[in-house]
Amino acid sequence: MEAILYERFDVLDHGFVRVIDYMGDDAAIVQAARVSYGAGTRKVREDRALIRYLLRHRHTTPFEMCELKLHIKAPIFVARQWLRHRTASVNEYSARYSRLDREFYVPDADHLQSNPSSNKQGRDDVLTDEEARQALSRLDWISTRAYGVYKNLLNEDDTGAPKDPDRAGLARELARAALPVNYYTQFYWKIDLHNLLHFLSLRADAHAQYEIRAYADVILDKIVMSWVPATYQPSATMRWTPLRSPQAGSPWSSACWPARRSIRRVAGSPSASGAS
């Protein structure tokens, strides 16, 4: 984990995730479970078995002994989905006090899809080349124009000095209203491992919106696997069950972890393809 501390992992066109700090690892989980024993009193093989046991039986408190602090840059609409998970500590960049940069998200053509007729959310078929060209052009145009309006309302140059000394600029907390939600924001996000696993089970799921799933995949591939490998590499016969009891209609009730696209790929378990 030390090797990737502060390393920037790029996501989407202007976003990133990087580890700012962390506490604990697989050993901390084991030590919390065996509270009367110190490190080195068990073999690694037995430690891995204990972690599998804790997950299988939903003994979640030992996983809360591990914490992760991330610095995230994401489109505002992704951040709003992200921060629906209210089990983390968050501090976000303030557009009341600081001017936002001219950085906005425009999807790749491969991710421009139509709205499904059978559902009010999600995506359906990819747009035709001409439809995609028009959509990209309009997204770029409105986003660029919005920033021009924003700068005009602020009446500031790139240094923050007034562009027109004879005109008062609008307060930043009001001028930001001109910007669409594809503009980028940044935030620090600190969460324990138990709640991170819950977050990833939802946001790395194939049904999650692509943009937030891209961040979840990076957290899995680049960070969590480096941080707590024993927690994410069970034996071939182990199924990752949810860390909370399933309830009717909840995302937990559909499948075990390896059945999910991203988790299955990361875990690399031969039994994952047969999970239900």
Active site residues: 203
The 8-class DSSP code of residue 9 comes to: E
Distance of CA 264 to the CA centre of its chain: 17
Q: CA angle 139-140-144, nearest 5°?
A: 120
Q: How many helical (H) and strand (E) elements, i.e. helices and strands, does the chain have?
A: 10, 5
Q: Are strands 89-92 and 15-23 parallel, antiparallel or unpaired?
A: unpaired
Token representation of residue 13: 């066109």
Going by C-alpha positions, the residue among 70, 69, 72 that lies closest to residue 184 is: 72
Token representation of residue 263: 């988790």
How far apart CA 14 and CA 183 sit, in angstroms, is: 10
How far apart CA 185 and CA 77 sit, in angstroms, is: 9
The 8-class DSSP code of residue 156 comes to: B
Would you say 62 and 54 are in contact if contact means Cβ atoms under 8 Å apart? yes
